[in-house]
Amino acid sequence: MTLSHIVAASQNNVIGVNNDLPWNIPEDMKFFRDKTKGRALIMGRKTFESVGHPLPKRLNVVVTRQPDYKPEGAVVVSSVEEGIELCKTKVDDYGDEIFIIGGGQIFKDTMDIVDIIYLTRIHRDYDGDILYPDVDPEKFEEVERRDREEPVAFSFLTYRKK
């Protein structure tokens, strides 16, 4: 079982502003779709609500403390650990890689347990209110990098836990 983060972050680690993305990079959206299609996704309630609907052809697991929260097309759990355990029971349907897709607190809380980080690094600063934690070079090594220049300079980075 592989636990992965998949995230786009600016140079100053911003991943969101007012529950939305502060940029529009179609190639990154395609990367996200291709990488996560047919997989299990774990996300916080605010991330689910910012997307606005369950992501198709994926297991959508929403972590929330709200016991009466019941969004259509998603499974609700009360903790990330509960979400991971649920996803482990769905390996036959969704494969053995679980993707954590946000938000900021869930990324922070799971940084010590993820195996892979797929980070789209946008090479400029943005204003925002949701941040991605720093990737510790003592714990993760960059194993792949693909640089792009349009519509802004960015890189697809893959880190593996050492």
H or E segment and range at residue 42: strand 40-44
Amino acid 67: pLDDT? 87
The Cα–Cα gap between 148 and 155 comes to 6
Task: Look up the domain containing 41 and give its range.
Answer: 2-148
Strand-strand pairing, 2-10 and 116-122: parallel
Amino acid 151: pLDDT? 94
Instruction: Give yes or no for a contact between 81 and 67, defined as CB atoms under 8 angstroms apart.
Output: no
Amino acid 56: pLDDT? 97
**Residue 153 resides in a domain:** no
Beta strands in 87-149 (DSSP E): 97-100, 116-122, 130-131, 140-148
Please report, in tens digits, the pLDDT of each residue of the chain (162 residues total).
Answer: 999 999 999 999 999 999 899 999 999 999 999 999 999 999 999 999 999 999 999 999 999 999 899 999 999 999 999 999 999 999 999 999 999 999 999 999 999 999 999 999 999 999 999 999 999 999 999 999 999 999 999 999 999 999
Burial (CB count <10 Å: 0-12, 13-18, 19+), residue 158: middle
**Residue 100 resides in a domain:** yes
Q: What is the CATH number of the domain that holds 91?
A: 3.40.430.10
**Residue 77 resides in a domain:** yes
**Residue 25 resides in a domain:** yes
**Residue 158 resides in a domain:** no
Burial (CB count <10 Å: 0-12, 13-18, 19+), residue 82: middle
Structure tokens at 1: 């079982």
| pTM of the model as a whole | 0.96
**Residue 67 resides in a domain:** yes
Amino acid 112: pLDDT? 96
Q: What angle do CA 52, 58, 62 make, to 5 degrees?
A: 55
The Cα–Cα gap between 117 and 129 comes to 21
Classify 122 as helix, strand or coil.
strand
**Domains identified in the chain, total number:** 1
**Residue 33 resides in a domain:** yes
Instruction: Give yes or no for a contact between 94 and 39, defined as CB atoms under 8 angstroms apart.
Output: yes
Structure tokens at 5: 């983060």
**Residue 90 resides in a domain:** yes
Residue 101 φ/ψ, nearest 5 degrees:
-115, 10
